[in-house]
């Protein structure tokens, strides 16, 4: 059967077996190996991707069921060379050890921050509760997500301050303070 879906903003069409799981479609057919295949029973969460903006365990979704939908994988988090703040947070706070659970954790964390930009530790732990990490004890993962939340809040505040300063005439079009230009 033929399936067409949009993966990381690129429309793809492939001939597949009807029983092919989305995790295997992404890894084996498209070569997107960032999505990991773990337990094959939906218990570990290493295979989390987004289907139409919602985190799903791709080992429980047939590729054919994703036809006509939007799929986002961990490879689709970065914008060009710019890492997503969640990816940056995992680097800064050592939110990974072996790295096997990391892609699924990042996809879940990004979905959480998109819905709740300032989650508490309890809310983060609840969001990732469907995923297993056997290395970190979760403390560094929680710190990584908090780091991303704070980084995004600081970036948003900087944009707001710059916009307000520009509107007030305090910054010229080149980004320089108005008094430096005068």
* Predicted TM-score (pTM) of this structure: 0.84
* Segments of the chain assigned E as strands: 2-7, 10-15, 48-51, 54-57, 70-72
pLDDT of residue 134: 87
Output the six-digit token pair for 89.
């947070």
pLDDT of residue 97: 86
Q: For residue 38, what are the CA distances in angstroms to 21, 47, 57, 117?
A: 13, 7, 11, 29
Query: Is the pLDDT at 181 greater than 70, yes or no?
Result: no
Please give the backbone phi and psi of residue 126, each rounded to the nearest 5 degrees, phi first: -65, -40
**Reduced to 3 states, what is the DSSP secondary structure of residue 13?**
strand
Q: Which residues contact 20 (CB under 8 A, 6 or more apart)?
A: 29, 62, 63, 64
Split at pLDDT 50, 70, 90, the class of 165 is low
pLDDT of residue 40: 73
At 31-90, the pLDDT tens digits run 999 999 988 788 888 999 999 999 999 999 999 999 999 999 999 999 999 999 999 999
């Amino acid at each position: 059967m033929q399936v067409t879906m949009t993966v990381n903003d690129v429309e793809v069409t492939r001939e597949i077996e009807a029983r092919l799981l989305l995790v295997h479609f992404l890894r084996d057919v498209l070569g997107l190996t960032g999505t990991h295949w773990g337990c094959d029973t939906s218990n570990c969460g290493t295979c989390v991707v987004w289907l139409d903006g919602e985190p799903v365990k791709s080992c429980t979704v047939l590729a054919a069921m994703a036809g006509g939908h939007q799929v986002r994988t961990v490879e689709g988090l970065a914008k060009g060379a710019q890492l997503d703040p969640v990816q940056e947070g995992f680097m800064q706070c050592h939110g990974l050890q072996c790295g096997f659970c990391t892609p699924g954790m990042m996809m879940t964390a990004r979905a959480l921050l998109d819905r709740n930009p300032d989650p508490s530790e309890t809310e983060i732990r609840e969001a990732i509760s469907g995923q297993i990490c056997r290395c970190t004890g979760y403390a560094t993962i929680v710190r990584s997500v908090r780091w991303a939340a704070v980084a995004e809040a600081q970036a948003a505040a900087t944009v707001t301050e710059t916009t307000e300063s520009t509107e007030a005439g305090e910054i010229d079009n080149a980004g320089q303070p108005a008094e430096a230009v005068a």
